[in-house]
Amino acid sequence: MSVMDLVVSYEVSNRGTPVLICNGYKFGLRKAESNDVKKRWVCTRMSKGCRAVLLTVYDAVVRSNTEHNH
Ligand SMILES: [Zn+2]
């Protein structure tokens, strides 16, 4: 499965921060590049050791590591 097949959707968390949802997993916005086009998203379980990340450009996934540890 290529990253282009990943279906993602977007939400806003209770705290007003953007949340990306992919395959039922939630990712928080880690860092927006200065032009705000490229965005890095990390799994919300990162603090528990999950290393899944997504990189989006114009809200399309261009790179991903979707190997979750949970
Ligand atoms: Zn995860």
* CATH at 58: 2.20.25.240
Q: Please count the structural domains in the chain.
A: 1
- Looking at the domain assignment, is residue 24 inside a domain? yes
Q: What is the Rg, in whole angstroms, of the alpha carbon atoms belonging to the chain? A: 11
Residue 12 CA to ligand 1 centre (angstroms)? 18
pTM (2 d.p.): 0.84
Residue 40 CA to ligand 1 centre (angstroms)? 14
Residue 68 CA to ligand 1 centre (angstroms)? 4
Which residues span the domain enclosing 40? 3-65
pLDDT of residue 36: 75
- Looking at the domain assignment, is residue 7 inside a domain? yes
Residue 53 CA to ligand 1 centre (angstroms)? 8
Residues in the chain, pLDDT under 50: none
- Looking at the domain assignment, is residue 70 inside a domain? no
pLDDT of residue 2: 61
- Looking at the domain assignment, is residue 46 inside a domain? yes
Tokens 């979750």 sit on residue: 68
- Looking at the domain assignment, is residue 33 inside a domain? yes
Contact 53, 68 (CB under 8 A): no
